[in-house]
Structure 1
Amino acid sequence: MTDWDERFAAGDYPREPEPSPVLRSYEPSIPDGRALDVAAGTGRNAVFLAEAGYAVDALDASREGLRIIGERATEEGIEERIEPIRGDVATYGFPSEAYELITMSFFHTLDRFADLAEALVPGGYLFVEGHLRSASATPSGPSDDRYRFAANELLRAGLGLTVLYYDETTEERPDDRRRATARLLARRSTGGRQSYPPRPPEDPGGE
């Protein structure tokens, strides 16, 4: 049993974490189809996207996390729209041009970024959020800065795509565990003239 299996089994990690308000706000403007949730955990994005109508591949190395996703999907009646995939993100072979949407929340990997972009269909969307290095104390998230984005690091990683939304914020959470987060929404498209989805009327940066 891995450390994450133990954490999920012990309830040390939320069983039903909420998806990012940025993802939730922009999702209606993203085409329907097939989605991939990378490092799916207990289904933060996978369950939300399946409820929104996507056919979702939920990729994670943890059997326990995938079991919880399966339970949640059954409870919501969306089990036919989620495919659990047990695999290591570091070595997983992402298919080319397979997904309208790929999401990855709070899993730090930049060396697979090009592979994630390649797995998008032309015009497909990539949403990534992760912990951010901060000069202020941020007890939520990893203690080692190696697993946090430096300032603008996630933005630079996405510059091969069309960046539609980017922010770096510090959030005060209900459990008093302050969290610094970077969020990127980008589209696999190029060219000097493009169409852009309207920004949602409510600020998606807040919880």
Structure 2
Amino acid sequence: MTTDPSHWNDRFTGPTYYYGTEPNAFVSAMAGHVPAGPVLCLAEGEGRNAVFLAGHGHAVTAVDASSVGLAKARALAEARGVALATAVVDLAAYAIAPGHWAGIVATFAHVPPAVRQRMHAQVVAGLRPGGVYLLEAYTPAQLAFGTGGPKDPTLCMTLTALREELRGLDFIIGRECERDVIEGRGHTGRGAVVQVVARRPEVTQRKD
């Protein structure tokens, strides 16, 4: 999977939504863990998760390398009657606002390991106390399924690596599993995924 914006602009060009317009199933099921407040959606593509979360009352910012994808995200938001902020960014250089976000969401955001490690360090710092990170991604076992995702195993994720990269967050859910991933044309069947719901601890007052 490439991080080249032209690749994603080409993929997202056209009237149909490559990964569909409904939210990722894991995000939909776990959205109740995200407290009220602003939400950041990373590598959000055509906006399916961002629009869903905006519809649940969050002030959502969607970022992606593809200007075409984000234009379709704004169109989807308008069609659903919700507000959505977008920004075209390179995740390798993007600065997540520290201590700001009630929720951060990343589904199938497969970037090179160095970029992912930098991004996750900023995710940990970017959540406000009590804020929650929702992540779903393919594991290296996905390559055997061939139903979507990267062809390079180094772009996939494991729970062991994520626990290290997200040190400082409390894992509510952390698991590797198989499930049917049916999302538009892009994801088309059984997949091997890692799923994470992780919360930044609340600030506690010292009692001397």
TM-score after normalising by structure 2? 0.82
Higher helix residue share: 2
Letter in 1 for 2:19: P
Aligned position for 1:143: 151
- RMSD over aligned Cα atoms: 2.3
Letter in 1 for 2:36: D
Aligned position for 1:152: 160
CA distance change for structure 1 residues 107 and 136 in 2, over 3 Å: closer, same or farther? closer
Deviations 1:12-57 (A, max 9, x none): 8224143233x32332243111000011111132011101110001
Q: Which moved more, 1:24-33 or 1:12-21?
A: 12-21
Deviations 1:76-117 (A, max 9, x none): 010xx3101111111011111111000011013232111111
Q: Which blocks of at least 5 consecutive residues in structure 1 are unaligned?
A: 192-207
Letter in 2 for 1:99: W
Matches within 5 A, 1:72-91: 72-78=76-82, 81-91=83-93
- Please tell me whether residue 19 in structure 1 is matched to residue 24 in structure 2: yes
Counterparts of 1:33 and 1:76, CA distance in 2: 20
Aligned position for 1:94: 96
Q: Is the 8 A contact 2:33 2:132 kept in 1?
A: no
Aligned position for 2:189: 177
CA distance change for structure 1 residues 135 and 43 in 2, over 3 Å: closer, same or farther? closer
Letter in 1 for 2:119: R
Q: Which runs of 4+ in 1 moved over 6 A?
A: none
Q: Secondary structure at the match of 2:149?
A: coil
Q: Secondary structure at the match of 1:40?
A: coil
Superposition deviation, residue 135 in structure 1: 7.9
What is the aligned counterpart of 1:37 among 22, 35, 41? 41
Superposition deviation, residue 136 in structure 1: 7.1
Aligned position for 2:66: 62
Letter in 2 for 1:6: D
Aligned position for 2:113: none
- Please tell me whether residue 53 in structure 1 is matched to residue 43 in structure 2: no
Aligned position for 2:141: 134
Q: Which blocks of at least 5 consecutive residues in structure 2 are unaligned?
A: 111-115, 204-208
Superposition deviation, residue 190 in structure 1: 6.6
CA distance change for structure 1 residues 176 and 72 in 2, over 3 Å: closer, same or farther? closer
Aligned length: 189
The structure, 1 or 2, with the larger RCO (C-alpha pairs under 8 Å, 6+ apart) is 2
CA distance change for structure 1 residues 16 and 176 in 2, over 3 Å: closer, same or farther? closer
Letter in 1 for 2:77: A
Superposition deviation, residue 161 in structure 1: 0.6
Q: Is the 8 A contact 2:142 2:191 kept in 1?
A: no
